[in-house]
Amino acid sequence: MTATGDVYNLKKVSDFSGNYVAGQGGAAVGGGGGGVSMRNQHGVVMNLTGTGTGVKLALGAKGVDVKLKK
Identify the segments of the chain with pLDDT beneath 50. Answer: 25-32
- pLDDT attached to residue 29: 41
Identify the DSSP state of 46: E
> Which alpha helices (DSSP H) does 1-70 contain, by range?
none
Tell me phi and psi for residue 29, to 5 degrees. -130, 110
pTM, 2 dp: 0.72
Q: What's the CA gap between 36 and 34, in Å, rounded?
A: 7
Q: What's the CA gap between 59 and 70, in Å, rounded?
A: 25
Pairing of strands 56-57, 64-66: unpaired
